[in-house]
Amino acid sequence: MIRTLLATTALATLISTGAFAQSTTTPAPATAPSVQEPAAAVPVPRAEGNIVTNIIGESVYNGTGDDAENIGKVSDVVFDKDGMAKSVVIGVGGFLGVGTKNVAFDYDKLQWAEKNGDRWLVAQTTKDELKAHPEFDSKPYGPAPAPATSTDAAAPKTPAATDTAQAPAAAPAEPVKRADGNLATNIIGKTVYNGTGDDAQNIGSVNDIVLSKEGKAESLVIGVGGFLGLGAKNVTYDFNKAQWAEKNGDRWLVAQTTKEALQAQPDFNRKAYDPAPATTASNAPAATAPAATTAPATAPTGKTAEAPAATTAPDQTQTAAIDKSTLTAMPVGEIKASDLKGTTVYGANDAKVGEIGDVVLTPDKKTDAVIVNVGGFLGIGTKEVAVGLDNLKFMTDKNGKKYLYTTFTKEQLEAQPAYDKGSYAEKRDQQRLVVK
């Protein structure tokens, strides 16, 4: 029998396994189209809110002055029981020189600022304050144990996130106290079902969470293309209507919907949430409003997203707010493998597609490929693509910051098999994408 384990409305009280999954997409043709999109494209209206994947992975700076420092990256967003984003989790260990340390920083105090033509995510804080900050503990947000099998199908009277203490893995002295909210990473990647009966179907997985300009979780973005027998299709589903249920000892994320309803829904357009182009170079913050009030833009070395459509033909000397005419080409042979990590990667029409997260070395310690994190650009969870060094074009600015230019389209990156460390040596030809 099934026992529903949900609060009646608020998905923010969800408790999940935290497992990650990616939506299935139909491979696109391997070759890039030889012509560009029409120059006079219709501009994409800007959305007032945010999407979580434009925040997670972003580099955070402690100011906008010339002495501003990169303090770490956002690894998660913390929601309260009502679905409001209350903080972001930032990994600051490297900045503090203490190994791994994650701290929670007030979401409303984050700022998007503009400096030298780039957008920076800013947390006004000091090294001493970060040292004094307690380590963020994610255990209270972990999945609660499934109760014993019951024939009671009624929803509990109290939210699921608060009615059960988490089962300790190694029997600690004190049980972990349940948190009233949830983490974004406990939701993104979860498989979604359209019911709990024996005929319930897997309709896709959560690819993102849409936030209002105040930081309220409004909807889930679910990849349902495979369920509908289509290519990639993402639809939104009301955050407060999603439910957690239990079936056969497993936790199911349930969206009560039908194939007809999903087919009728428009495809979710994440471009409306992509970074708006920076206007003019400035050393002062562009605004003092928190991150929730503006659509986020890319931090210098953070996760990136596709540039919004332009109303005129793209200027081939510009990359977002970067003037390519000021950059200097770098021969691949002059770049050390250790220097490649963090390099921002651009694709067709100079759209930002991700950044280099790692490198693959040959047995004789030469760089064979760079691993580019492209998930956010594709509107999905994490996806790593191995790109061979053949014909790559690296550029550097006067400060030594590196940029990688490719010709890859979103369709090519979607179709490319993800990099897998365990099978790369055997399947190198399939997993290694090469610029033609």
- Give 311-348 pLDDT, tens digit per residue: 333 333 334 446 666 778 877 666 777 778 888 888 88
Q: Are strands 118-122 and 111-115 parallel, antiparallel or unpaired?
A: antiparallel
Distances (CA, A) of 69 to 121, 123, 195, 278: 11, 10, 48, 20
Strand ranges inside 111-174, DSSP E: 111-115, 118-122
Whether the CB-CB separation of 352 and 344 falls below 8 Å is answered with yes
pLDDT at 256: 93
Name the residue ranges covered by the structural domains of the chain. Answer: 1-34+45-297, 324-436
C-alpha closest to that of 266 among 236, 308, 227, 241: 236
Element (H, E) at 396: strand 393-396
Cite the DSSP H helix spans in 180-240: 225-228
Return the amino acid letter for 232. A
pLDDT at 106: 94
C-alpha 17/C-alpha 253 separation (Å) is 10
pLDDT at 232: 81
Q: What angle do CA 348, 419, 403 make, to 5 degrees?
A: 40
Distances (CA, A) of 297 to 204, 220, 276, 340, 392: 28, 21, 6, 22, 26
C-alpha 165/C-alpha 162 separation (Å) is 8
Whether the CB-CB separation of 407 and 436 falls below 8 Å is answered with yes
Whether the CB-CB separation of 41 and 309 falls below 8 Å is answered with yes
Question: Residues of the chain whose pLDDT is less than 70?
Answer: 1-44, 116-117, 143-176, 275-325, 332-334
Q: Which residue has the tokens 């974004």?
A: 184
Q: Are strands 402-405 and 344-346 parallel, antiparallel or unpaired?
A: parallel
Helix, coil or strand: residue 106: strand
Q: Are strands 191-193 and 250-254 parallel, antiparallel or unpaired?
A: parallel
**pTM given for the model:** 0.54
Element (H, E) at 413: helix 410-415
Helix, coil or strand: residue 127: helix
Helix, coil or strand: residue 149: coil
Q: What kind of fold does domain 324-436 have according to CATH?
A: SH3 type barrels. (2.30.30)
